[in-house]
Amino acid sequence: MPIKAKVQGPGIMNRRITVITTWPVDAGEQFREVMTANGISLLSLPMIEIADLSFRLNHDLEDYHWIVFTSKNGVHSFLRRYSFSRENKIAVIGSGTAKALRTKGYEPHFTGSGTSGVKFSYELAEVVGSGQKVLLALGNLAPNRLKEALSPQNQVERVDVYQTRVPENVDENILKRIIYDDYTLIAVSSPSGVKNLMALVKDKIKRPLRLVSIGETTSDAARRLGIEPLGTSPVQSYYGLAQCALETINHM
């Protein structure tokens, strides 16, 4: 049963709760469902765009023992070019990436806890073991943490299958609501989303942004920019982020 939001505290007592989302409009379905079920108004201000990249593998697909994904974007972009072989084992981080894989008709052989990229690298190193040929299907901004964790004992290839870029157009009206502090929370789901948002508002806002974050990697990116998120989801998924947002609202 979803947590119900309670309107509490000065600042939100006398107005409708408004949460601004910062991911592409076609993402975050679970977040949207939980928020609307609790009567919370959502505004979409995408701070990133996702686009497929052209890529080529160094080996035939069936030569890879493991194929690793850290986001649903990676799953979608990769499977627009390739279909898995019986020889492949598939590893994903978190329930959201696993769900994206299942919608394409595949079951992951390993699903990481989804709490952070650092923890996933440790989990994956244990599962993969040694002497394996591993393919990492990532976004262009993903750190090299997984490759560094797996390379000492395995043959690891990284391929960037999608890129994250700054949107060409931004809704100025929603941006003004942030600048004038006319919102309850901003929900962020990626380091690049946080960075792009701050680049637009950092010289215009008078109060720190009120953020809730999808996970520790994104929260760390916010902290490096001088923002302490009001809440961080313990599970890296849009559902977890929705629950985190509701709990944060309840304590405002």
Could you report the per-residue pLDDT of 34-73, keeping only the tens digit for each?
Answer: 999 999 999 999 999 999 999 999 999 999 999 999 999 9
- CA atoms lying within 13 Å on the CB side of residue 103: 11
* Confidence tier at 250 by pLDDT (50, 70, 90): very high
pLDDT at 10: 40
Q: Which residue has the tokens 């998120």?
A: 229
pLDDT at 103 over 60: yes
What's the pLDDT at 14?
40
Binning pLDDT at 50, 70 and 90, where does residue 115 land?
low
| Lowest mean pLDDT, pick from 35-44, 108-117, 175-184 | 108-117
pLDDT at 116: 73
Q: Which residue has the tokens 């119900």?
A: 4
CA 104 – CA 127 distance, rounded (Å) = 23
Helix residue ranges, H only, 48-93? 72-79
Beta-bridged to residue 165, according to DSSP, are 49
Tell me how far apart the alpha carbons of residues 54 and 52 are, in angstroms, rounded to a whole number: 7
Q: Which residues contact 172 (CB under 8 A, 6 or more apart)?
A: none
Task: Give the residue, 13 or 222, on which the prediction is more confident.
Answer: 222
All CATH 3.40.50.10090 domain ranges in the chain, comma separated: 18-48+167-210+221-250, 50-164
State the Cα–Cα distance between residues 4 and 39, nearest whole angstrom.
Answer: 9
Rounded mean pLDDT of 1-10? 45
Q: Please check the confidence at residue 13 and state whether its pLDDT lies above 50.
A: no
- Residue 180's pLDDT is 97
| E strand segments, 166-196 | 185-188
**Number of H helices and number of E strands within the chain?**
9, 11
Three-state secondary-structure class, residue 214: coil
- Per-chain mean pLDDT for the chain: 91
**Coil, helix or strand at residue 49:** strand
Contact residues for 171 (Cβ-Cβ < 8 A; gap 6+): 44, 45
**Distance, CA of 97 to CA of 236 (rounded, Å):** 10
11 has pLDDT over 50: no
Token pair, residue 183, equals 């919102």
Show the CA angle centred on residue 31, arms to residues 249 and 237, nearest 5°: 100
CATH class of 50-164: alpha beta
CATH level 2 (architecture), domain 18-48+167-210+221-250: 3-Layer(aba) Sandwich (3.40)
What does the pLDDT read at residue 114? 66
Q: What is the mean pLDDT of residues 209-219?
A: 95
Q: Which residues contact 8 (CB under 8 A, 6 or more apart)?
A: 250, 251, 252
The structure tokens 């916010």 sit at: 222
**Cα separation, 23 vs 29, whole angstroms:** 11
